[in-house]
C-alpha cells in the first residue's frame, strides 16, 4: 500500500461575525455564560444566499494552490457536510463545476462533526490502492441555515465555515493510523428531525421548528468526553505510539470544556492542544479541517511533526487519526 499524506490545506470563513454581545440581544443569554460554559466568543455567519459550495470552493482553491495542484488534475472530490446546497445533487458536484475539476469523481459524505476524518480516511483508501493519484477533501457547513435562533440551548454554539485538504502519495510520513466508529442507537440526542424522508417539509413541520438542529447538550457532553478519550487512546495503540510521540492534538471544536476534559484524562498539557473555538464556534464538518489549516498556517504544525486528530459528532460517530506532517 502506498503512503498517503496531506499536501495542501486551505480555509474560508465568511466575513460576517456574530459576537456573544450580538446574541445577548437575540436570546436570554450572556457573554459570561457562553464564554465560561463553552469557550466561544464569536462565530462567522454566511451571508444571505451564500451556500456551502460558495464557502467550500474558496477553501478548495486555497488548498489546491498550497498543494500546487491544478483543479483539472484532481481525481476525486469528497465533501463532508450536513448542510449541502441542496439534497441532490451533491455539493461535491457543484464544487467540481465551480473549480473546473472536470475529471474528478465527486460525492458528499455525511458524518457530521467527524466528517473530515471520515473523508480523509475514504480518500486515503482510493490513493493507497492506486485507484486515484490525488483527492480534495472539503469540510464545509452553513449551520446558520439549520440553527434555531430562538433556542438559546443551541444557537450560541454554532458557526459557518469551510476548510479543505489535498491528499496525494507522499514518500514518507503521511497518515500513520486511523480509527473510526459509530453508535447508531443514539440518533435522538443530536439531529434535525424534519426535511428528510421521515418527515418531509410541511406547514406543520415548519411551524413546529422541526427543521432545526435539536440537541441534548448535557447528555452529549459526557459521551463526547469519554468517546474522544477512547478514540485517541485506540488510534495511538494501533500505531504503537504514546502521547510522548504527539506534538499537537487537534480535537473537534464543540466546547472548550469538553476539549480540556479530554486533554486532562489523557494527561496532555494544554499547550499541546489546538483551539479555534473561541473565534469560530462549532462548525461541525468544517471545524477539524479549519483548525488543522490554521495550525499549519500559524506554524504550530511543522514538517516532521506528528499530530493527532480527534473527532466526535451526531450519529453518534467518532474518529481519530495520526499524521506525520
Ligand atoms: N445562556 C444562558 N443559559 C443557558 C444557555 C444560554 N445560551 N443555554 C442553556 N442555558 C441554561 C439551561 O437552561 C440550564 O438552566 P436551568 O439549570 O435553569 O435548567 C443551565 O443553563 C445549565 O444547562 P446545561 O445544559 O446543564 O449546561 P451545560 O453546562 O451542560 O452546557 C452545553 C450546555 C450545550 C454548552 C454543553 O452541554 C455542551 O457543550 N454539550 C455538548 C455539545 C456538543 O458536543 N454538541 C455537538 C456534538 S459535536
Give 78-126 pLDDT, tens digit per residue: 999 999 999 999 999 999 999 999 999 999 999 999 999 999 999 999 9
What is the model's pLDDT at position 2?
A: 85
CB atoms within 10 A of CB 2: 13
What is the model's pLDDT at position 1?
A: 75
Q: Give residue 264's domain range.
A: 176-324
The secondary structure element, H or E, covering residue 183 is none
**What confidence category does residue 314 fall into, taking pLDDT thresholds of 50, 70 and 90?**
very high
Q: Is the pLDDT of residue 245 over 90?
A: yes
What is the model's pLDDT at position 147?
A: 98
Helix, coil or strand: residue 265: helix
Same domain, 165 and 184: no
Same domain, 11 and 81: yes
pTM: 0.96
The secondary structure element, H or E, covering residue 167 is strand 160-169
| Angle value at C-alpha 308, between 256 and 68, nearest 5 degrees | 110
Interaxial angle between packed helices 91-99 and 52-67, expressed in degrees from 0 to 180 and rounded to the nearest 10: 50
Which residue minimizes the CA distance to atom 22 of ligand 1? 218
Closest CA to 170 of 1, 2, 301: 2
211: domain CATH number is: 3.40.47.10
Question: Average pLDDT, whole number, for the chain?
Answer: 97
Closest CA to 273 of 254, 300, 298, 302: 300
The radius of gyration computed from the CA coordinates of the chain, to the nearest angstrom, equals: 19
Mean pLDDT of 6-21: 98
SS3 sequence of 131-152 = CCCEEEEEEEEEHHHHCCCCCH
Q: How many domains does the chain have?
A: 2
Report the separation in Å between the CA atom of 217 and the middle of ligand 1, taken as the mean of its atom positions: 6
Q: Which ligand 1 atom minimizes the distance to the CA of 252? A: 48
Q: Which ligand 1 atom minimizes the distance to the CA of 257? A: 39
What is the model's pLDDT at position 6?
A: 98
Same domain, 113 and 35: yes
CB atoms within 10 A of CB 87: 10
Query: Is the Cα torsion angle 283, 288, 294, 295 positive or negative in sign?
Result: positive
Q: Is the pLDDT of residue 261 over 80?
A: yes
Same domain, 63 and 162: yes
Same domain, 165 and 263: no
What is the model's pLDDT at position 311?
A: 98
Report the separation in Å between the CA atom of 288 and the middle of ligand 1, taken as the mean of its atom positions: 22
For 119-170, write each residue's pLDDT tens digit: 999 999 999 999 999 999 999 999 999 999 999 999 999 999 999 999 999 9
Which residue minimizes the CA distance to atom 29 of ligand 1? 37
Closest CA to 7 of 239, 323, 274, 252: 323
Q: Percentages helix, strand, coil for the chain, rounded to the nearest 5?
A: 40, 25, 35
Active site members: 113, 252, 282
The residues with which 190 forms a beta bridge, in sequence order, are: 215
Same domain, 202 and 279: yes
Q: Cβ < 6 Å from ligand 1: which residues?
A: 29, 33-34, 37-38, 113, 152-153, 156, 190, 215, 217-218, 220-221, 224, 254-255, 258, 282, 312-313
Q: Is the pLDDT of residue 229 over 90?
A: yes
Same domain, 143 and 76: yes
Same domain, 126 and 185: no
Same domain, 205 and 148: no
CB atoms within 10 A of CB 170: 17
Amino acid at each position: 500500500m502506498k503512503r498517503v499524506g496531506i499536501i495542501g490545506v486551505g480555509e474560508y470563513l465568511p466575513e460576517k461575525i456574530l459576537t456573544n454581545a450580538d446574541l445577548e440581544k437575540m436570546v436570554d443569554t450572556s457573554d459570561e455564560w457562553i464564554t465560561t460554559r463553552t469557550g466561544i466568543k464569536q462565530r462567522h455567519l454566511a451571508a444571505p444566499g451564500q451556500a456551502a459550495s460558495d464557502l467550500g470552493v474558496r477553501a478548495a482553491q486555497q488548498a489546491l494552490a498550497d498543494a500546487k495542484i491544478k483543479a483539472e488534475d484532481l481525481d476525486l472530490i469528497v465533501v463532508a457536510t450536513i448542510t449541502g446546497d441542496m439534497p441532490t445533487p451533491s455539493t461535491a458536484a457543484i464544487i467540481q463545476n465551480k473549480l473546473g475539476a472536470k475529471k474528478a469523481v465527486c460525492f458528499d459524505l455525511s458524518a457530521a462533526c467527524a466528517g473530515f476524518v471520515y473523508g480523509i480516511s475514504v480518500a486515503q483508501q482510493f490513493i493507497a490502492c492506486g485507484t486515484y493519484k490525488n483527492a480534495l477533501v472539503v469540510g464545509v457547513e452553513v449551520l446558520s441555515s439549520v440553527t434555531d435562533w430562538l433556542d438559546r440551548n443551541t444557537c450560541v454554539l454554532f458557526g459557518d465555515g469551510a476548510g479543505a485538504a489535498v491528499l496525494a502519495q507522499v514518500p514518507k510520513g503521511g497518515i500513520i493510523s486511523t480509527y473510526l466508529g459509530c453508535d447508531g442507537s443514539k440518533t435522538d440526542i443530536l439531529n434535525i428531525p424534519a426535511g428528510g424522508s421521515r418527515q418531509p417539509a410541511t406547514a406543520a413541520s415548519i411551524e413546529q421548528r422541526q427543521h432545526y438542529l435539536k440537541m441534548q447538550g448535557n447528555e452529549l457532553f459526557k459521551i463526547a468526553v469519554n468517546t474522544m478519550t477512547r478514540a485517541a487512546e485506540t488510534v495511538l495503540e494501533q500505531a504503537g505510539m504514546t502521547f510522548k510521540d504527539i506534538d499537537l492534538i487537534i480535537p473537534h471544536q464543540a466546547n472548550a470544556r469538553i476539549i480540556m476534559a479530554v486533554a486532562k484524562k489523557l494527561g496532555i498539557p494544554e499547550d499541546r492542544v489546538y483551539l479555534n473555538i473561541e473565534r469560530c464556534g462549532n462548525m461541525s464538518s468544517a471545524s477539524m479541517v479549519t483548525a488543522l489549516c490554521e495550525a499549519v498556517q500559524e506554524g504550530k504544525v511543522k514538517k516532521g511533526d506528528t499530530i493527532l486528530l480527534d473527532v466526535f459528532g451526531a450519529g453518534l460517530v467518532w474518529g481519530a487519526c495520526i499524521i506525520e506532517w
